[in-house]
Amino acid sequence: MSAVLSLHVLAEEMLRTGHPVSFAAPGRSMEPTIHDGEQITVEPRIAAGVRLGEIVVYASSVGLRAHRLLRAHHRRSTSYTVRGDAADAAPEAVPAERILGVAVSALRGGRELSLGATGVPLGVAVRRLRFLARRALAGLRVGRSRKAESR
């Protein structure tokens, strides 16, 4: 078993027994809210206690994952829909028993950032909107150049 997987198993057990954990979150699926390798703090919480918009941490086949909670499928939900904040992340259904907690903060540049229910500080929201606008404009340019080529 790799050292990273062993740490994930330990973090999962700590969360299941009611202890908060902090670890470096690998990957880019939560950018710009959580950057690749940023340290996040996770408070234990069962699925019934999570709220829409929070960043839930759950057990997956590749270790722990942190994604935003989009939807509970019914009042006493047994399944939740989550997705990373990155524009290219696909939604995923997560069974309630795999949800371990909620990411409450991230450490960025020596500062602790709150990841409340919205999880997106104003500056991050503005950067995300700029990113999405640039991406949309790039798509328009590509569409226009394809029309011009077909003439």
**N-terminal to C-terminal alpha carbon distance within the chain:** 58
Query: Can you tell me the distance from the alpha carbon of 119 to that of 33, in angstroms, rounded to the nearest whole number?
Result: 7
Compute the average pLDDT of residues 34-60: 93
Measured in degrees and rounded to the nearest 5, phi and psi for residue 26 equal -80, 150
pLDDT at 2: 63
Query: Can you tell me the distance from the alpha carbon of 83 to that of 81, in angstroms, rounded to the nearest whole number?
Result: 7
Instruction: Give residue 13's Cα distance to chain centre.
Output: 20
Please state the pTM of the whole predicted model: 0.72
Lowest mean pLDDT among 58-62, 85-89, 120-124: 120-124
pLDDT at 74: 65
The secondary structure of residue 85, as a DSSP letter, is S
Percent of the chain with pLDDT over 90: 49
What residues pair up with 44 in beta bridges, in sequence order? 101
Measured over the CA atoms of residue 5, residue 84, residue 88 and residue 70, the dihedral's sign is positive
**Mean of all residue pLDDT scores within the chain:** 83
Q: Report yes or no: 133 and 87 within 8 Å, Cβ to Cβ.
A: no
Compute the average pLDDT of residues 45-65: 90
Q: Three-class SS of residue 54? A: coil
Compute the average pLDDT of residues 129-141: 78
The larger pLDDT score, comparing residue 33 to residue 6, is at: 33
Q: Is the pLDDT of residue 36 over 60?
A: yes
